[in-house]
Amino acid sequence: MSNFLPNELIKRLNEQEGFDSEAFNTIHEQGDKITSVRLNPLKQTTIPFENASPVPWCDTGYYLTHRPVFTLDPLYHAGCYYVQEASSMFIAHILKEIGLENSVTRALDLCAAPGGKSTLLTSYLGSESLLVSNEVIKSRANILTGNIVHWGVSNVVVTNNDPSTFKRLPGYFDLLLVDAPCSGSGMFRRDQETIDEWSLANVKLCSDRQKRILAESLSALATDGYLLYSTCSYSREENEDIVDWIQTTFSFESIRITFDSDWGIEETRSAEHQAFGYRFYPHKVKGEGFYIAVLRKKEDQSTFNKKKIKTEKNDAPLRVVADWTNQQADHVPFMHSGHIHIFPKRYEEELRWLQQVLYIKQAGTDMGKWTGTELLPSHDLACSIHIRSDLPAQEVTEDVARQFLRKRSLAREDFEAVNSGWCLVRYHGINLGWVKVLANRINNYYPKEVRIMNL
């Protein structure tokens, strides 16, 4: 592994007026790693870490004094917070600046895995919005689905599609976030092995890929809709030059974002169109390398024929929804592969439009399997913010919580609050999952695929 940053990268960064290459090199040589988390405001309103300090551009973000073993924290598995790089939390500030916080917005996170930016979008766009969270790689789409489930919201559709698929939804989205695959130079301090993998050839390859992704997806954005384009690269070819290419090829205007100068963020202008962009350098901010630009679509975007799709017979038992959730009024249940799901009623018809076009991995909240006589509750339901608070539950200690998360055997005496039947396992008042209480034993229903393998 090399101990030095690529000479070609430093050479190109030095072409920027005022760039401090000495400070940039020094911060990388020191190798300090910054740990930050973002709270789930629907589950956790107080920071569960000592001596944490706020991320200035995100009111739910916090820096930690050290990196704990998150795997050992039951609240991490319960979706109370997300471990996210602080620089990328600037998206929260952008949403406030452009007036989309707590709005009615149809949003697409095009390259969403593992889910940090999608969970941020759900928190700041609010419950009246709809988020389509997409990932093209199947294995990463599974990770994305898991993180969305843990966040507990129902207004998200997780999809597994190539960006080109979204051409079939012209003019549908009000917000498009493209956190584009890039050469990764912004992560050199966090992952020094990537230094040896960096090359100008890879920067060029990534730049071409970014243009393809954008060219095949921008028609999905409505007129006056916002594009948030970001990378974790320092290379101009992947950042400002891409924004210039967007404005040359399509009809977009650059949007300037105001922020506190004390934050250390650097505002840049692209060479051709003087478009605004925002760079995060680790020697100037408490975070890793990041670039983001905001553009608004100005061309008249035609849309698809939103004809009413024939409603299929809905066999979902309404009484079961009422028995297990608090969302009968503004949610609609539907059956899929023998499972009951709930989804925001506001977007019921639109979900059917999306089903005509996209491969959907998850829509709304999967309540569980319906046998015809009873519900076998799912882990998704246990994580949901819409689950009824008066269901049978047992508060457990940290040791019992960890045993549960390992899918180990549990002692009957630790579940005295419930005589029999389905029981939520709670830690600090937050649901972790399900057990079934029997006369002489506890059956642990924590999903095998996400259990803690080692303590």
- Asked whether the predicted pLDDT for residue 304 surpasses 50, the reply is yes
Say if residue 454 is exposed, middle or buried (CB neighbours under 10 Å; 0-12, 13-18, 19+): exposed
Contact 79, 150 (CB under 8 A): yes
Q: Is 111 annotated as a binding residue?
A: yes
Say if residue 305 is exposed, middle or buried (CB neighbours under 10 Å; 0-12, 13-18, 19+): exposed
Q: Is 135 annotated as a binding residue?
A: yes
Contact 91, 226 (CB under 8 A): no
Q: Is 115 annotated as a binding residue?
A: yes
In the chain the domains, ranked by start, together with CATH numbers, are 7-297 (3.40.50.150), 312-388 (no CATH), 392-455 (3.10.450.720)
How many CA atoms does the CB half-sphere of 265 hold within 13 Å?
Answer: 24
Q: What is the pLDDT of residue 337?
A: 92
Q: What is the pLDDT of residue 2?
A: 41
Say if residue 410 is exposed, middle or buried (CB neighbours under 10 Å; 0-12, 13-18, 19+): buried
Span 315-343, pLDDT tens digits: 888 899 999 999 778 999 999 999 999 99
Helix (H, G, I), strand (E, B) or coil at 405: helix
Confidence class of residue 105 from pLDDT cuts 50, 70 and 90? very high
Which tokens go with 229?
């384009």
**Could you tell me the pTM of the whole model?**
0.96
Measured CA to CA, the distance from residue 106 to residue 99 in angstroms comes to 14
DSSP string, 117-166: HHHHHHHHH-TTSEEEEE-SSHHHHHHHHHHHHHHT-SSEEEE---GGGG
Q: Is 113 annotated as a binding residue?
A: yes
For the chain, the 3-state helix, strand and coil shares in percent, each to the nearest 5, are: 35, 25, 40
Q: What is the pLDDT of residue 311?
A: 72
Span 374-391, pLDDT tens digits: 999 999 999 999 999 999
Which tokens go with 356?
């005509």
Kindly tell me the number of DSSP H helices and DSSP E strands found in the chain: 12, 22
Contact 227, 329 (CB under 8 A): no
SS (H, E, C) 153-208: CCCEEEECCCHHHHHHCCCCEEEEEEECCCCCHHHCCCCHHHHCCCCHHHHHHHHH
Active site residues per annotation = 232
- Asked whether the predicted pLDDT for residue 71 surpasses 80, the reply is yes
Q: Is 282 annotated as a binding residue?
A: no
Percent of the chain with pLDDT over 70: 99
Over residues 156-170, the mean pLDDT reads: 97
Q: What DSSP designation does 65 have? A: S
Q: Is 116 annotated as a binding residue?
A: yes
Span 243-300, pLDDT tens digits: 999 999 999 999 999 999 999 999 999 999 999 999 999 999 999 999 999 999 999 9
